[in-house]
Chain A
Amino acid sequence: KAGVTQTPRYLIKTRGQQVTLSCSPISGHRSVSWYQQTPGQGLQFLFEYFSETQRNKGNFPGRFSGRQFSNSRSEMNVSTLELGDSALYLCASSLTGTGSGYTFGSGTRLTVV
């Protein structure tokens, strides 16, 4: 079966711009979680969506937002980009909503210049 697909794989944006990242979960998975990975902080939880509703949210500013569509695909948006937003953004989908059921995508590498 197809895995979790994240697009684009790489992105370069300028400070102040906004960006939208996309995640297509495994077919049948209704939970999608987003994480930010930086070298010094590891993976930081951004938010989780389940059946089009945000079920949980991490400690990130309001510039980070997301949504989930009826087909479970999810998008993450970052507005007013800052240099510190440069990171690998990982999406994970899950059938049951537990971490052991997570399947991660390969991530989107965002560089803010």
Chain B
Amino acid sequence: DQQVKQNSPSLSVQEGRISILNCDYTNSMFDYFLWYKKYPAEGPTFLISISSIKDKNEDGRFTVFLNKSAKHLSLHIVPSQPGDSAVYFCAASAPNTGNQFYFGTGTSLTVIP
């Protein structure tokens, strides 16, 4: 049962515009969320995280928004750059589950120059 879902397998955006990647989850116990970025033939790299006590976290061009009531989070990239083209995974964890994270299936972002 997929507890974290990324319903858009792919997204294309013009360079300079905003990219919005979405993620939904079903487990209301999740309290910590992360986004990872993955290039082909490489492992995922950590991008940004957010705790459930916040509804927004910003790091440079990347902002993550959390809507707990809707069990939804989104990653905004502004402005989008060609180097942002990659697969993006969202992940979530619940308290007292150690280092176990539930990942979505990923969204492949293509930024068109």
Interface residues of A (CB under 8 A from B): 4, 31, 33, 35, 39-45, 48, 50, 55-56, 58, 90, 92, 94, 97-107
Contact = CB atoms under 8 A, between A and B. Distances in A.
Contact of B99 (A40, A44, A48, A104): A48
Interface in B25-75: 32, 34, 36, 41-46, 49
A45 B102 contact: yes
10 contacts: A31-B99, A39-B105, A42-B104, A43-B89, A44-B103, A90-B43, A97-B99, A101-B46, A103-B43, A104-B45
Interface residues of B, number: 26
B105 A99 contact: no
B98 A56 contact: yes
Interface of B: 2, 4, 6, 32, 34, 36, 41-46, 49, 89, 91, 93, 97-106
Given A43-B89, A104-B36, 20 more contacts: A31-B99, A40-B105, A42-B6, A42-B89, A43-B44, A43-B91, A45-B100, A45-B102, A48-B100, A50-B99, A55-B98, A56-B98, A97-B98, A98-B32, A98-B99, A99-B93, A99-B101, A103-B45, A106-B41, A107-B43
A99 B44 CA distance: 11
A41 B93 CA distance: 17
B103 A43 contact: yes
A4 B43 CA distance: 9
Contacts of B6: 42
Interface centre among A44, A94, A102 (most CB of B within 10 A): A102
A42 B106 contact: yes
B43 A33 contact: no
Interface centre among B6, B41, B91, B93 (most CB of A within 10 A): B91
Nearest to A58: B100
